[in-house]
Amino acid sequence: MPGRFLFHLLILFFVSPVVVSAQQVSRVIQEQCATMQRLQVQFERNPDLRKKFEQETARFTNAVKRGAYRELDSDTNATSKTTYIIPVVFHIVSTNPDNITDATIQAQMDVLNRDFAGINEDTTRVPAYFKPLFGRSAIQFCLAQQTPSGEGTSGIERIKTTKTSFVAGSDAERRISTGGVGSWDTKRYYNVWVCNLSSSVLGYSTLPNDAGASDLQGSTIDTRSLPGGSLTNYNSGKTLTHETGHFFNLLHIWGDDGGDCTGSDLIDDTPNQADASKNCASGIKTDACTTGGNGIMYQNYMDYSFDSCLVMFTRQQVVRMESALLAYRSSLTTSNGCTQPVLKKFDARLASIDQPSQRLCSSSFTPAVSFENRGSQILTSLDINMRIDSGSIKTYNWKGSLAYLAKVTIPLTNITTDTGIHTLTIYVTNPNNNADENIINDTISARVQFYNAVASVSEGFEANTFPPTGWDIVNPDNFITWKRVNGISKSGSSSVMIENFNYNTVGQKDDLLMPTVTLQKIDTAFLSFQVAAATYSGVSGNSSAWDTLEVLVSTDCGLTYTSIYKKFGRDLVTRTAPTTSTFIPGTTEWRKDSINLVNYLGKDNLLIAFRNTTGYENNVYLDDVNLRTVVVNPNLKRRGFMVTPNPTNGIIAVQFYPQPSDLRALQVYNIAGQKLLEIDVEAGQENNYYQFNLSKYAPGTYVVRAVFTDRVVTTKILKF
């Protein structure tokens, strides 16, 4: 797009911010690429960055035009050019990362290399009038062959996460603290994250001079966009080609100016274009910015056409990308990431402890682990050792056949612990009965806890120790989570809360788990708690990203959970007015909620969790958590109606089992038939417990009558 250099219009005309910020009340509007929206958010957080970015962009663009980084002759497609090989690592971040196969990633690499080299079969779709502009880049890519620490690798890293999707442009998938995974050395590797992105966004990238954190540099693509992915028309792998163009300093071909024809992609051989293209056009297509001639270049990888329609970079786009590589990312060209390391013969890597989770429901359990062969020799035997704290070592002798870089998950032998919080350490030794030549990757430790199940819970979080004994926290992103706070409470002086006000990773889940519970030989069980909550943006509108509080129950020690309480928005808040500062509830801004656990009577080893799902709104508090269980008197169970104590010296309790639905009155008569006391019961207000005080009446025999709609039940009591 020649001519116009009003670069600030790239930013001023953004109308679709992607990154969610409750503090700025910006919500997601659908977009296909979030690169420029991510940059806009950075500018909002750091106004000085905008000026520096524009100045550096102008400097670089002028330098490219002067040929500062390469000879800008007319033959930019010469086959004798130096080829730059860039090592790529794919970080697959998913709830089930194994669903994306190595073959799919290799197919994506093939698309990327063909598109950059200009040898993709669909170049036949380049119209004759644009063929003189067709560019072939000397940038090529390989899957990394060694890790930053020098170990062999496939260039594909699979990370299991609890997050079902990530907000495009938020960088959450690029941080361990927000449910993702960190980069490999960005000076040596082109990092590509593959995950599920929220809404319709397919990807985004960092620009070389955006002044972003060095460890966040790279591109993210949606799993649906991979070759053979689930998104029709955008599943040929061209999204990564587009985002890699951004990574090497290309802008959108239409200049992101909202259709004003005043923006620019800073490329001289791309036609001026009003806005992003959709679908797949054919023939010459004109618009308000290019009204004649050969029309716009909807075939360009930096547009939004269907994958089948995207077939070319221009010569000057190639010049800009190769210049950006040498100006900003030259260390990638000297990386040894594409060189296979000299392998150790015997190198077993313990990849993960898959079982147990941190909560144990029995003192005896069977760990499960995954390990990988990083050695050149086929792995046929391995000792897997485990211990609790500093206790005795228990060894499992594995035998099998595991090729280089192959991985296997296996259960080990049973191990026993006692009550309390412990460290489970597992390490591997003796691969093929030889010394392991790389002990750095042999050991993993995990926190586990076991306490005997309890029949009731009463917790006001008053003790300084948090979590209280038997409780624990599941914090998948190791970021903001449940914590105890002093001076804020419904009763006492403390409560627990989670700072959704500062928790900008929308959709992240954090669990506060109660002690393991048994409801065996119990007749009634109720869970009650005090809750306080507010929102930043108010509750009058519709939102898909409210803070959400759930109560979950697991009957299989945390493998699966069932939600028995879920509130968000207006149903959750105890302050309805929007609160744009951190929410601190007053004494009247609490609500007691109660849950009947009747469906879980007779169960043992129940796990009950309070789950917060952040919507980046405002804080949620809990206090006075009580699990109350009742064992019904056998006589009451048998008779359904009982008065105790009998005889009495004053106060008597009238009890029913089960709770009556048609009780209308309770009455006390003396032996002469005179009615002394009465409680009227309205329909729908029946209870299973009532009291009378006979203290002022003379000793003797009295009759208690329960009046139902269709019958009367009586019993005699003795007053002494």
DSSP state letters, 310-347? --BEEHHHHHHHHHHHHHH-GGGGG--TTSPP---SS-
Q: Tokens 């033959």 label which residue?
A: 75
Is 243 among the residues known to form the active site? yes
Domains defined along the chain, listed by start: 9-334 (3.40.390.10), 348-450 (2.60.40.10), 457-630 (2.60.120.200), 634-719 (2.60.40.3080)
CA 608 to each of CA 97, 168, 356, 631, 705: distance values in angstroms, whole numbers, following the listed order:
28, 33, 17, 21, 41
Alpha-carbon distance of 371 to 352, in angstroms, equals: 7
Angle at 150 between CA 144 and CA 156, to 5 degrees: 30
Instruction: List, run by run, the mean pLDDT of 10-residue segments along the chain (720 residues).
Output: 42 37 35 90 80 93 90 53 94 96 98 96 92 97 94 92 90 88 96 93 94 88 96 96 98 89 92 93 94 96 96 97 96 96 93 93 96 95 97 97 95 96 98 96 96 96 96 88 97 96 83 96 92 90 79 95 96 95 96 95 95 94 94 86 95 92 96 96 92 96 96 95
Q: Are 527 and 606 in contact (CB under 8 A)?
A: no
Record the pTM.
0.62
Smallest Cα–Cα separation from 701: which of 677, 665, 667, 673? 673
Alpha-carbon distance of 337 to 190, in angstroms, equals: 10
Helix (H) or strand (E) holding 65: helix 47-65
Torsion sign (Cα): 561, 563, 568, 574: negative
Q: Are 245 and 317 in contact (CB under 8 A)?
A: yes
Alpha-carbon distance of 20 to 333, in angstroms, equals: 36
Quick one: pLDDT at residue 3? Answer: 42
Quick one: pLDDT at residue 92? Answer: 98
Smallest Cα–Cα separation from 42: which of 54, 30, 32? 54
Q: Which residues pair with 182 in a beta bridge?
A: none
Catalytic position from the list 151, 157, 243, 617: 243
Alpha-carbon distance of 396 to 374, in angstroms, equals: 20
Alpha-carbon distance of 550 to 604, in angstroms, equals: 21
Q: Are 231 and 222 in contact (CB under 8 A)?
A: yes
